[in-house]
């Protein structure tokens, strides 16, 4: 292993084993619209994204917090590519643990309640 590979591995944050993730933790992570936006952007683009490449309405430090929550909830995997921290949706692993959950979530649209009681 080269020094660069060791350095990259040392900087990779820990990720929870998918078998230890609880639905409660996932729901708590996804209650925030910014975090749902991150998950949607990763899913829509089918590739790794650097933290700074997301279209988010929050500061860099707040975005860092949101990525941390998603990683700890088991929804994303992070690794370094050069100086960029890359993010990957753990879709296949997550679907084995919670079949159909993410597709159902991603099919929903975020929006304001129009006040008629039906959630639209």
Domain boundaries, the chain: 22-107
Strands 84-89 and 49-50: antiparallel
Instruction: Identify the pLDDT of residue 67.
Output: 98
pLDDT tens track of the chain, all 120 residues? 554 454 445 678 899 999 999 999 999 999 999 999 999 999 998 889 999 999 999 999 999 999 999 999 999 999 999 999 999 999 999 999 999 999 898 888 776 433 444 444
**Token output for 66:** 């949101």
For domain 22-107, the CATH class is mainly alpha
Could you list the beta-strand ranges (E) of 2-120.
49-50, 76-81, 84-89
Distance in angstroms (rounded) separating the CA atoms of residues 26 and 106: 14
Instruction: Identify the pLDDT of residue 38.
Output: 97
Q: How far is it between the farthest Cα atoms of the chain?
A: 61
Distance in angstroms (rounded) separating the CA atoms of residues 39 and 51: 12
pTM of the predicted model as reported, rounded to 2 decimal places: 0.81
């Amino acid at each position: 292993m080269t020094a660069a590979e060791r350095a990259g591995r040392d900087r990779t944050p820990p990720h929870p084993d998918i078998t230890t993730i609880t639905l409660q933790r996932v729901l708590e992570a996804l209650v925030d619209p910014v975090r749902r936006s991150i998950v949607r952007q990763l899913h829509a683009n089918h590739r790794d994204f650097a933290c700074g490449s997301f279209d988010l309405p929050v500061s860099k430090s707040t975005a860092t917090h949101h990525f941390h929550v998603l990683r700890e909830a088991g929804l994303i995997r992070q690794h370094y590519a050069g100086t960029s921290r890359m993010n990957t949706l753990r879709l296949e692993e997550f679907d084995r643990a919670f079949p159909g959950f993410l597709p159902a979530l991603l099919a929903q649209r975020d929006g304001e309640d129009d006040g008629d009681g039906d959630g639209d």
